[in-house]
Amino acid sequence: MRFLVIYCHPVAESFCNALHHTVVEALGRAGHEVEALDLYAEDFQPVMTRQERLDYHESGVNIRTVEPFVAQLRRAEALVFVYPTWWYGLPAMLKGYLEKVWALDVAFTLNGPNQVIRPALQHIRRLGGVSTYGASWWWTRWVGDPGRRTLIRGLKPLCHPRCRTTWLAHYNMDVSTPESRRAFLARVEKHYLHLEPAGRVAGTAPGQG
């Protein structure tokens, strides 16, 4: 499968960066085609300008400033988001990426007099997230885990009807230990190393994925 790994963290020495490299390397070793997007390295501009907002509903014009990122998304068959959960949700850079790249007539269309949302990314059959949380599991769930909800519940309906989702999380990062971090890196590596071989989708025969 063609994976797009979307990574968002400003610090190269971070644990998140180690997770990012683990995902990319494991997918490559498993035989998948991998395209890695580091939003900070690309100097992605997350703030929507006045003109970008005015152009938002004009197909084609609305992606002029983000065309390379839209092309990446359209090439992908699977997505993995790797990022730290800050204030229970997505970092501003990643939220801006969704607002500007997952645009009208890219991620969805609006049809009929009631402007019903229709999916436009049905070529994407896998959607995953790898994140770190400063808070505990129970506290994160109590506040609703909005970052995970945005990516899994919000984006999945725009993808293939049988899109499979996974979520891997390291909670309590503020009191993490070398042992807990090593264990989580091993868990992430094992997960992405043992997905279906490239060109296969669960429940399909070769050539049908």
Structural domains of the chain ordered from first start: 2-193 (3.40.50.360)
Provide the token pair at 63.
Answer: 């992606």
Provide the token pair at 187.
Answer: 């868990």
HSE-up of residue 24 (Cα within 13 Å, Cβ side): 16
Residue % of the chain over a pLDDT of 90? 89
pTM: 0.90
Instruction: Give the model's confidence band at 116: pLDDT under 50 very low, under 70 low, under 90 confident, else very high.
Output: confident
Residue 39 CA to residue 8 CA, distance in Å, equals 6
Provide the token pair at 41.
Answer: 């390295």
Residue 207 CA to residue 209 CA, distance in Å, equals 6
Q: State the alpha helices, DSSP H only, in the chain.
A: 15-29, 50-54, 67-75, 92-101, 137-142, 146-148, 178-193
Residue 85 CA to residue 143 CA, distance in Å, equals 13
pLDDT digits (tens, 9 = 90+) for 162-204: 999 999 999 999 999 999 999 999 999 999 999 864 344 433 3
